[in-house]
């Protein structure tokens, strides 16, 4: 277990230091895990989340067609018409992405909203880095608001046998949705403060961008609708979301071929796929699979359980804040999957209601990914988009938004969940 932990920690430190080489570092570490036997060959495919990779690739291709249609430019014009300065434009885009992310996967949300932000920044000649970071962290926050917002929410809903409405009101009390939204309000204030110097007035658009091809927009909107509907399907295949996005991309490419009758109909959407981001995620999936196979995640869960002792409030506190810390560095999905049965056992042994422990786990694990640029898939995707746009993202750029944003979201959730469900 120790060699796996050392390799994992070393890879993360290197990725933080050498941000330009993150995909190669992650893939290199993954190869070492496999060659050394720390990740068995039979565990390679089960640890790769093909659904996420396919969804990212498909949505990136669709977004490339979406950008080519000039619809992001039109949406940028509309946003610029209704906000008074750059500061409000940044906050509005973050809130907009958060609303979408409550019902659609975080990564898909970032891929859909980022082109609008990039177009606004291009027209205003301002730095898009904080805009995209704000969109990414807002998307992560809202993933815990509803049953369909994130994989971790789906897993928790399954463990507690929760319906879609239970996330709004659970056991006669306000549920996770209102807890998250309170954090969202405070987080929006953080973003407002971060952009406090961006007071430049947005010039009025002389004429709106003309969009002549609305099919890519229909395909992207169709992806949102189908992703929402798919979330309600019982026992659906694990790669359902990925198949939806890739299938719509194929439809878009066929349509583009018929319309253009040119090779660019295929090359444009394919060039829009950021294979470095996909490579980074692939490497991370295998690295996390390696430490899971070596028992690191299980041991971390057990240590958390012991740290709380027999005091429920202490246990709740440990679960929330340790989840924030752990999820800042590893994928929250295997961590939450491991902790759910641990919490069930703890609650049964102590004879207490597990609700605050479960909700604390969800809030801490979901929001902790906002602390670092590699703590959540949405962050990785956002940084990948910026890199393709020729923008360098320093760790300090992310930390100055991600860390205060996380604290503003977690602290009220930590207090409210305990007041609602922990206090007898």
Q: Is the pLDDT of residue 332 over 80?
A: no
3-class secondary-structure state, position 191: helix
Q: What pLDDT is recorded for position 247?
A: 92
Q: What pLDDT is recorded for position 157?
A: 79
For tokens 């014009």, the residue is 77
Tokens for 344, please give them. 């069930």
Confidence of residue 334 (pLDDT cuts 50, 70, 90): low
Interval 349-370 mean pLDDT: 86
Q: Is the pLDDT of residue 134 over 80?
A: yes
Q: What digits encode the pLDDT tens for the residues 361-420?
A: 999 988 888 888 877 778 888 888 898 888 888 888 889 898 998 898 899 999 999 999
Top mean-pLDDT range of 145-154, 189-198, 306-315? 189-198
Q: What digits encode the pLDDT tens for the residues 185-236?
A: 888 888 888 888 887 777 776 677 788 788 888 988 888 788 778 777 777 7
| Of residues 17 and 408, more confidently modeled | 408
| Of residues 159 and 62, more confidently modeled | 62
CA 279 remoteness from chain centre: 17
Interval 307-327 mean pLDDT: 84
Q: What pLDDT is recorded for position 266?
A: 79
Q: Is the pLDDT of residue 32 over 90?
A: yes
Q: What pLDDT is recorded for position 366?
A: 85
d(CA 42, CA 39) in angstroms, rounded, equals 8
CB 339, CB 316: distance < 8 Å: no
Q: Is the pLDDT of residue 308 over 70?
A: no
Q: Is the pLDDT of residue 28 over 90?
A: yes
Q: What digits encode the pLDDT tens for the residues 233-277?
A: 777 787 887 888 899 999 988 888 888 787 777 777 888 787 887
Q: Which residues of 329-345 are buried (b: 16+ CB within 10 A; e: fewer)?
A: bbbbbbbbbbbbebbee
d(CA 260, CA 234) in angstroms, rounded, equals 40
pTM over 0.85: no
Confidence of residue 310 (pLDDT cuts 50, 70, 90): low
Integer Rg of the chain from CA: 21
Confidence of residue 317 (pLDDT cuts 50, 70, 90): very high
Interval 295-299 mean pLDDT: 78
Interval 46-74 mean pLDDT: 80
Kindly give, in sequence order, each residue whose CB lies less than 8 Å from that of residue 114, ignoring residues fewer than 6 positions away.
63, 132, 135, 382, 385
DSSP string covering 13-33: HHHHH-GGGHHHHHHHHHHHH
Q: Is the pLDDT of residue 106 over 90?
A: no
Angle at Cα 114 formed by Cα 198 and Cα 180, nearest 5°? 80
Q: What mean pLDDT value characterizes the chain?
A: 83
From the list 125, 134, 123, 119, the residue with the least C-alpha distance to 88 is: 134
Q: What pLDDT is recorded for position 124?
A: 80
Instruction: For CA atoms 299, 304, 309, 315, give the dihedral sign.
Output: negative
Q: Is the pLDDT of residue 33 over 90?
A: yes
Q: What pLDDT is recorded for position 331?
A: 66
d(CA 422, CA 221) in angstroms, rounded, equals 40
Q: What pLDDT is recorded for position 210?
A: 81
Q: What percent of the chain has pLDDT over 70?
A: 95
d(CA 63, CA 180) in angstroms, rounded, equals 28
Name the DSSP letter for residue 204. P
Q: What pLDDT is recorded for position 148?
A: 66
Q: What pLDDT is recorded for position 358?
A: 92
Pure H helices in 83-175: 86-101, 106-124, 129-142, 151-159
Q: What pLDDT is recorded for position 34?
A: 93
Instruction: For CA atoms 283, 285, 290, 295, give the dihedral sign.
Output: positive
For tokens 């999905």, the residue is 333
| Of residues 286 and 72, more confidently modeled | 286
| Of residues 151 and 30, more confidently modeled | 30
């Amino acid at each position: 277990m120790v060699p796996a932990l050392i390799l994992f920690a070393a890879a993360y430190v290197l990725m933080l230091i050498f941000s330009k080489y993150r995909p190669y570092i992650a893939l290199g570490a993954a190869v070492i895990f496999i060659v050394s036997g720390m990740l068995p060959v039979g565990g390679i495919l089960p640890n790769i989340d093909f659904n996420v990779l396919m969804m990212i690739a498909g949505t990136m291709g669709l977004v490339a067609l979406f950008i080519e249609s000039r619809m992001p430019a039109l949406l940028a014009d509309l946003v610029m018409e209704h906000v008074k300065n750059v500061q409000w434009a940044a906050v509005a885009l973050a809130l907009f992405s958060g609303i979408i992310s409550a019902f659609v996967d975080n990564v898909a949300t970032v891929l859909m909203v980022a082109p609008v932000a990039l177009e606004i920044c291009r027209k205003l000649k301002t730095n898009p880095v904080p805009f995209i970071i704000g969109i990414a962290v807002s998307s992560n926050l809202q993933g815990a608001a509803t049953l369909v917002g994130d994989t971790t929410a789906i897993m928790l809903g399954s463990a507690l046998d929760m319906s879609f409405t239970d996330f709004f009101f659970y056991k006669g009390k306000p549920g996770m949705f209102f807890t998250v939204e309170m954090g969202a309000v405070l987080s929006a204030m953080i973003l407002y403060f971060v952009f406090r110097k961006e007071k430049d007035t947005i010039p009025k658009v002389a004429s709106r961008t003309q969009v002549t091809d609305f099919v890519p927009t229909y395909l992207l909107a169709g992806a949102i609708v189908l992703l929402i509907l798919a979330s309600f399907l019982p026992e659906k295949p694990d790669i359902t979301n990925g198949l939806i996005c890739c299938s719509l991309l194929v439809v878009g490419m066929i349509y583009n071929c018929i319309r253009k009758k040119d090779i660019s109909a295929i090359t444009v959407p394919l060039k829009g796929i950021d294979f470095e981001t996909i490579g980074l995620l692939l490497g991370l999936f295998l690295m996390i699979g390696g430490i899971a196979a070596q028992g690191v995640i299980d041991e971390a869960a057990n240590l958390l359980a012991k740290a709380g002792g027999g005091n429920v409030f202490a246990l709740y506190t440990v679960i929330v804040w340790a989840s924030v810390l752990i999820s800042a560095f590893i994928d929250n999905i295997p961590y939450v999957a491991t902790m759910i049965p641990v919490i069930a056992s703890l609650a049964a042994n102590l004879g207490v209601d597990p609700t605050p422990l479960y909700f604390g786990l969800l809030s801490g694990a979901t929001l902790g990914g906002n602390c670092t640029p590699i703590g959540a898939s949405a962050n990785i995707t956002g940084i990948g988009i910026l890199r393709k746009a020729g923008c360098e993202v320093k760790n300090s750029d992310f930390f100055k938004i991600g860390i205060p944003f996380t604290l503003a979201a977690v602290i009220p959730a930590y207090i409210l969940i305990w007041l609602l469900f922990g206090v007898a």
